[in-house]
Structure 1
């Protein structure tokens, strides 16, 4: 048992946080992949995180985790539709659908845990209070590898303050995964809408799942989740074929 401070620092370098429901081997593979690429470009980071948010993993979460998690279950349809949009290549829609889920879930968890009326609080102080409570509970209950969970929460806290909820004019990364810029329309088509944006926001939803109900391991595959994963794969293949068809059509016109 131990903390994950090393991983916390490495994920911070790429503007992300320690994702829950992922094993150490995958952590190491992601960090190694980014290092080998000799850069922290959006394409390299996106390719690394794609190894986490696979059709199989997301299908299992849609079937067996989001609908069974307190508070998060109220957003299960929005989450499911956003994931479907992601596999269709509609990442502007996927991301803008999930950003309110993060905020709504966090505020309701704040109230569920008896921390006060979250709707009257500014967003950052509310999130700080929620994560502080979660860390204290993690250390009090000492469930599982609690020191590892604390590192995940510290990593997530840093990500929220430095990136997701920073002022849009102060967002320092190319990918523009920023709540203010997206929600208030400061960002247009060209500013965001990539798979990397989606991975960052669905990862935030997953951290809130861990806070809402301590289940540190990813759900197992089921016949239902395998069928859904095949559907997601079909969407991605259809999108790729559609792009090729449109490109060929444009070539013929020119």
Structure 2
């Protein structure tokens, strides 16, 4: 039982009020408690109140969290729409740009085809190499798999799509597991989607609580973990991105296959070849973007991994050029010769 247990019913009622005012808070406390609170405004979560009483600091948002979820822009909302196309939030593209792209996909005649095309148009060999050089090599989660990742990038741009896609799925899961083992006391043998989600939730809560250490209570605390997580997504942009990661992992990659539609991007269906679109080339970009979400989460805990997108530099360009030159020769020649041999593979 918390020290402020007597105030919890009042705080919960106030947190659900349509639009909170100082008078509402004062009247509610006067009606149910003997101590009069000291109330001040702050700008957290699009406007909120600090309520001081009995040496406790409580935070109440002006609008309920359900209202903020519906009417305030956040990555988590965009990701909900992007899940339909199996696309994790691209962290090198602006939030508004991606939101507009998803809206166009949703309103075109062939949404999935449009999504596949968009992925190719907005991803490149240079971006892949930049992530490899600046993020994956520096990552404690991925450093054991750096050769696999590099070979997967090479394979994809040399025309070996199937090898590239299939090789990154175990890297994704290994990296996710390593992240939680190294930074969050996770289970080194875990392959459970439910456990992965629980660990992602804990990461959001841990990071979010660091931002408001001076508060004893805030919406969701002590009564509803989902409200608590949503509160943190509005309080802190990093929590919002990690919650987007959680949404993508839960509702796309690890979604129970009974609820999967044909053409969906899903770990189980792809690895077990249960989906006829398992070899869709744009799935390489999809699984690659999933890897970048793991490095983003790690960047909060490991200073060696950049927090922001740092862009492509000359070194990245040189490595990309090396692969590109080989691709120009090998890709075209290989497929031409395969066709001459009568092998109908592509």
**Fold-level match, TM-score > 0.5?**
yes
SS of 1:50's partner is: helix
CA contact (8 A) 1:4 1:151 kept: yes
| Aligned match of 1:30 | 101
Which residues of 2 match residues 188-199 of structure 1 at below 5 A? Answer: 190-199=276-285
In the TM superposition, 1:99-178 aligns within 5 A as 99-119=169-189, 121-142=190-211, 147-168=236-257, 170-175=259-264, 177-178=265-266
Aligned residue-pair number: 243
Quote the Cα distance in structure 1 between the aligned partners of 2:293 and 2:201.
14
Shift of 1:6: 3.9
Secondary structure at the counterpart of residue 269 of structure 2: helix
| TM-score computed with the length of structure 2 as normaliser | 0.61
1:32–1:242 Cα change, 3 Å: farther
Task: Give distance in 1, aligned partners of 2:323 and 2:105.
Answer: 26
Partner of 2:79: 8
Counting only pairs closer than 5 Å after superposition, residues 224-243 of structure 1 correspond to structure 2 as 224-238=315-329, 239-240=331-332, 242-243=334-335
Match of 2:92 among 18, 21, 44: 21
Quote the residue 2:141 is aligned against: 71
Structure 1: which 5+ residue stretches go unaligned?
none
1:196/1:146 CA distance change after superposition, 3 Å: farther
- Checking the alignment, whether the CA contact within 8 Å between 1:59 and 1:225 is kept in structure 2 is yes
8 Å CA contact 2:75, 2:95 repeated in 1: no
The CA distance in 2 between the partners of 1:170 and 1:76, in whole Å, is 33
**Deviations 1:132-153 (CA, angstroms, capped at 9, x unpaired):** 12212332344xx973333322
Displacement of 1:60 in angstroms is 1.0
Q: Which position in structure 1 is the counterpart of 2:111?
A: 40
Shift of 1:35: 4.4
The answer to whether structure 1 residue 60 and structure 2 residue 130 are counterparts is yes
Cα distance change on mapping 1:98 and 1:157 into 2, 3 Å: same
Secondary structure of the structure 2 residue equivalent to 1:65: helix
Tell me, in whole angstroms, the C-alpha distance in 1 between the residues paired with 2:235 and 2:139: 19
1:204 is aligned to: 290
Q: Which has more radius of gyration?
A: 2
C-alpha RMSD over aligned residues? 2.9
Output the TM-score relative to the length of structure 1: 0.81
Comparing both structures, which one devotes a greater share of its residues to helix? 1
1:56–1:229 contact (8 Å) kept in structure 2: yes
The structure where strand makes up a greater share of residues is: 2
**Aligned-residue offset at 1:245:** 5.8
Matched, 1:219 2:310: yes
